[in-house]
Amino acid sequence: MPFPRNPRPEILTSLKDALPVPFWMDDSQRPTPEPALTGRISTDLLIIGAGFTGLWTALLAMEMDSSRHVVLIEAEETGIGASGRNGGFVSASLTHGFENGLKYWPDELAKLTRMGQENLEAIQAAIQHYNIECDFRRDGELMLATETYQVKELRRLPKIAAPYGEKLVWLNQEETRSLVNSPLYLGGLYSPNGAAMVNPAQLTWGLKKACLDLGVQIYEHTPALSLKKAGGAIVVRTPYGQVQASKVALATNAFPPLVKSLSCYIVPVYDYVLVTEPLTTSQWASIGWQGRQGLADSNNQFHYYRTTLDGRILWGGYDAVYHRNNAVGKHLEVDYEVFGRLAEHFFLTFPQLSGLRFTHSFGGAIDTCSRFSPFWGLHSAGRVSYVLGFTGLGVGASRFGALVMLDLLDGKSTDRTALKMVKTKPVPFPPEPFRSMVIDLTRKSLEQADDHQGRRNLWLRLLDGLGLGFDS
Ligand SMILES: Cc1cc2nc3c(=O)[nH]c(=O)nc-3n(C[C@H](O)[C@H](O)[C@H](O)COP(=O)(O)OP(=O)(O)OC[C@H]3O[C@@H](n4cnc5c(N)ncnc54)[C@H](O)[C@@H]3O)c2cc1C
């Protein structure tokens, strides 16, 4: 049975106390932002944006060469972008999942899988090394089949993925429901090594502290207003000052890029999340969910969900909303229609939890590109590098993205820079109004496919043929 578009009116009472605030940022540990930059400074490396990408870039740059002077500027505060408001799935995949990797880079997928696992291990090692408390758990993830055609598709994957070094285990209905009990589950594909779960905001704050301890200068409430090449350097203007930098790493994700030509490659897509109040012991027993695995269903419009340290369920996904002209802004972080739909889908999945309330409802922008995986490049005669296009799976991949940016800025040839994935760019999106029209048609087609046992219409098959898509 496909998930309905409209919630039953009685479901909406579960949302009446929900704060429109990102759950992870609503934390007494949230640090006071560093002061804004005033005056003119110069540096070896300037990083713009303090989400995971910017923070890993700063940390890795200092670890590689502690004599390097590194400055990080952030428009608002650390973690305020996608990094402090996501599901907290730290995926090992660098390619937005195994199947997407197989579609685009079959020849290098074994290497990418290994690099992704190494990246996840390195994230874990850094969390231990810098003593970051962020509820990092490696219980894996479980992809759920809620329709019969999905059972067929998922159960063939362990055999296909094994030669690439990807361990996947098919669980039948009974095995799946013994882990988490929903009347919708028909089976599940368990990936024991595929992902860790983290409190993402706490990870950003821990990385910020590690950066400060290593000597990175961080300025918050300091948006970069413009970026210009001036002689042998780059000058970045901010409201009360400017930075002259030998090299610049752009880590601004779905926000308007400072290098304007990049805006054709990404669309900001809003993804929304609900978080419940803490469950009682009997509520937990009613769904039998004892582990800390991350869960997701396998529709085109999918839900992802997980538990929190204080016993809540975070429930997000399904709608991926694009606003004309690549619009971003605080006003788009709340969408009551989407919240109502998410609540309905939550109680369809877990009818045992009827009466449970949501305490937080929020959204954030994802930097979707047409191949769903990051891309890199250099600009301004090699002095500026960028990584973009994580498309909803950047919590883990951002560290890898940061390493590649540093390789590129330092002019190093590495295993990473040799990858086809790193050397190529996604197909750009068309300009408006065609961009909105194409995205709208694709969204509607994906919705129809979910309603009709996954059958893809002519438009989706055309996009498949061209290697293009739209996802969150
Ligand atoms: C609701 C939601 C759920 C998600 N769930 C998951 C998940 O479970 N797993 C997963 O892997 N991924 C998930 N993602 C995606 C993931 O959060 C991102 O891919 C990742 O956080 C990207 O990190 P980033 O540092 O590149 O971007 P961001 O965290 O967005 O950081 C960019 C920063 O740049 C700053 N900035 C922008 N412009 C300027 C400027 N001009 N000057 C200075 N600063 C600027 C912004 O303020 C922001 O802090 C999710 C995203 C959302 C929105």
366 lines ligand 1 (CB under 6 A): yes
**Spatial strand order in the sheet of 169-171:** 169-171, 187-191, 141-145, 294-297, 303-307, 313-322, 267-276, 358-368
85 lines ligand 1 (CB under 6 A): yes
Total-model pTM: 0.96
d(Cα 422, Cα 404) in Å, to the nearest integer?
8
296 lines ligand 1 (CB under 6 A): no
Would you state the pLDDT for residue 467?
A: 76
Buried b (16+ CB within 10 A) or exposed e, 156-168: ebbeebeebebeb
Q: What is the pLDDT along the chain (472 residues), one digit of tens a residue?
A: 789 888 888 899 999 999 999 999 999 999 999 999 999 999 999 999 999 999 999 999 999 999 999 999 999 999 999 999 999 999 999 999 999 999 999 999 999 999 999 999 999 999 999 999 999 999 999 999 999 999 999 999 999 999 999 999 999 999 999 999 999 999 999 999 999 999 999 999 999 999 999 999 999 999 999 999 998 899 999 999 999 999 999 999 999 999 999 999 999 999 999 999 999 999 999 999 999 999 999 988 999 999 999 999 999 999 999 999 999 999 999 999 999 999 999 999 999 999 999 999 999 999 999 999 999 999 999 999 999 999 999 999 999 999 999 999 999 999 999 999 999 999 999 999 999 999 999 999 998 998 888 889 999 998 888 877 777 7
Q: Please check whether residue 56 is in contact with residue 398, taking contact to mean a CB–CB distance below 8 angstroms.
A: yes
Nearest-atom number in ligand 1 for the CA of 362 is 1
d(Cα 456, Cα 464) in Å, to the nearest integer?
10
d(Cα 176, Cα 289) in Å, to the nearest integer?
10
Tell me how crowded residue 381 is: count the other CB atoms within 10 A of its CB: 9
Nearest-atom number in ligand 1 for the CA of 88 is 8
d(Cα 11, Cα 349) in Å, to the nearest integer?
13
Would you state the pLDDT for residue 5?
A: 86
202 lines ligand 1 (CB under 6 A): no
390 lines ligand 1 (CB under 6 A): yes
Buried b (16+ CB within 10 A) or exposed e, 173-201: eeebbebbebebbbbbbbbebbbbbbbbb
Nearest to 287 by CA among 383, 353, 382, 371: 353
Length of the chain: 472
d(Cα 254, Cα 271) in Å, to the nearest integer?
12
Q: Please check whether residue 228 is in contact with residue 234, taking contact to mean a CB–CB distance below 8 angstroms.
A: yes
Nearest-atom number in ligand 1 for the CA of 84 is 29
Query: What separation in Å is there between the alpha carbon of 345 and the centre of ligand 1?
Result: 25
Pairing relationship of beta strands 39-48 and 169-171 according to DSSP bridges = unpaired
Query: What separation in Å is there between the alpha carbon of 455 and the centre of ligand 1?
Result: 32
91 lines ligand 1 (CB under 6 A): yes
pLDDT in tens, 356-398: 999 999 999 999 999 999 999 999 999 999 999 999 999 999 9
Nearest to 403 by CA among 152, 60, 1: 60
293 lines ligand 1 (CB under 6 A): no
Residue owning the nearest CA to atom 3 of ligand 1: 86
210 lines ligand 1 (CB under 6 A): no
Nearest-atom number in ligand 1 for the CA of 76 is 47
Nearest-atom number in ligand 1 for the CA of 304 is 8
DSSP β-bridge partners for residue 297: 144
d(Cα 388, Cα 373) in Å, to the nearest integer?
8
Nearest-atom number in ligand 1 for the CA of 73 is 43
